[in-house]
Structure 1
């Protein structure tokens, strides 16, 4: 069913680890066709961003492009923030710093933190529940010094095609293999940070979009986060894998249109 647009929203799209703004190439024009303003950002050392991962030591460093963008928004304007996968932690940082500039934060098959635990908690739980063999040909590599450690993650072709993109087109799989860059989960930094605040992060309306065929972040783990931390609204995209913006762009577009209608 088509959604009637009542107000024009500014929707900001934040990609997951190793990805870039390019992964939203199908969704962005669909949302714009409904009259919305859409911004897709590259996080630091991702996509076309010129920085190297060696120069990005913390989650805040990694989130710099989003934070600079949020700072540029006038105080009387609000955006719809959409974070995919690890991008859920990027938008959490923005929620904590700029809660008054966000109409709703949307977690798309994403890591979603709470306000009572250190920010690494949700990733720690995920890693504990993910056997080593589930990572297939993904590589984890230490970079930096022992005094300033960082673990890089690089997705291999098998993990991409079997875990992330299993319901996507061969063209999208090929695009991923050409454009993915090494990233990090920033566990070393996140384990030392204070929890996100109730006054900032906790004050923003939250929605979660469940992808039931996700083989990277299982549907059980997605629902565990929802039950553990709570959200204001839950959406589900039938037959969506981890990359719903590529495998189910029309359906994801409708989800975001409905959320924009409800919160903007």
Structure 2
């Protein structure tokens, strides 16, 4: 890779897939960066079904396998959106030496003091069930599967994003899970692993899915090296304001990678 060129690995959130980065990927590539987008298990065009993915580690396997193949002298910039914050935290915990910085984009951000499920449990406590609108929850093996409904997509996730991207999302979305049952039994992320990697948070001010005050609470709870803010964007910043997200990522990359 050319000097100044970084390797970004972009990790989507629940019910989404690699497709949601289609605007951001070319922006990063045209700036000379290398970009890997991947589908987590049972997401996007990954052939697994959510019924068969019983743990958060299995759900994260495509990301963990990718990091296992990164040569020892190379580092990536991990970018996690929404639930993807927990996937990148797991990857940072297992491969801290391969990550120059973890970037949480309006994402769930765990700490090293509590179980990995803590930020999801706190979120559930403060989110009345009515806020989930037409999201469907159903038992699936040892976990609860979750599928965002059309109202949830348009009112909570894509309220400021173009109607074309909303339609794309509704046609490509797949059932997912928060894997709460599994994450509540997992050991804490370690200070030596996850806790040793620089972390940056990108705040999205008009997010109705993970509201601003909850983003700020997580930032305070998990102690971040850097916090950037993108004003006027909903939850789907990579579709709503891709160039602003590109500039924020570029700024973080320049500092840490």
TM-score computed with the length of structure 2 as normaliser: 0.99
Q: 2:104 aligns with which of 107, 111, 121?
A: 107
Residue 27 of structure 1 corresponds to which residue in structure 2?
24
Alignment of 1:89-108 (within 5 A): 89-108=86-105
CA RMSD of aligned residues (A): 0.9
Are residue 186 (structure 1) and residue 179 (structure 2) matched? yes
* Distance in structure 1 (CA, Å) of the matches to 2:208 and 2:39: 24
**Alpha-carbon distance between aligned partners in 2 of 1:229 and 1:34, rounded to the nearest angstrom:** 31
- Please give the TM-score of this superposition, normalised by the length of structure 1: 0.96
SS in 1 for 2:101: strand
1:229, distance to aligned residue in structure 2 (A): 1.1
The whole-number CA distance in structure 2 between the counterparts of 1:96 and 1:133 is 34
Does the alignment pair 1:160 with 2:160?
Answer: no
Counterpart CA distance in 1 for 2:59 and 2:238 is: 22
Q: Distance in 1 between matches of 2:131 and 2:50?
A: 24
CA contact (8 A) 1:11 1:37 kept: yes
Number of matched pairs: 256
Within a 5 Å distance, the mapping from 1:34-49 to structure 2 comes to: 34-49=31-46
Equivalent pair of 1:27/1:245 in contact (CA under 8 Å): yes
Are the counterparts in 2 of residues 6 and 261 from structure 1 also a CA contact under 8 Å? no
Please list every run of at least 4 consecutive aligned residues from structure 1 whose deviation after the TM superposition is greater than 4 angstroms.
none
Aligned to 2:162: 169
| Deviation by residue 1:143-180 (Cα, 9 ceiling, x = unmatched) | 12xxxx11000000000000000000010010011000
Residue 100 of structure 1: how far off its partner (Å)? 0.3
Secondary structure class of the residue paired with 1:83:
strand
The answer to whether 1:198 aligns with 2:178 is: no
Instruction: Specify the SS of the correspondent of 1:188.
Output: helix
Shift of 1:6: 6.2
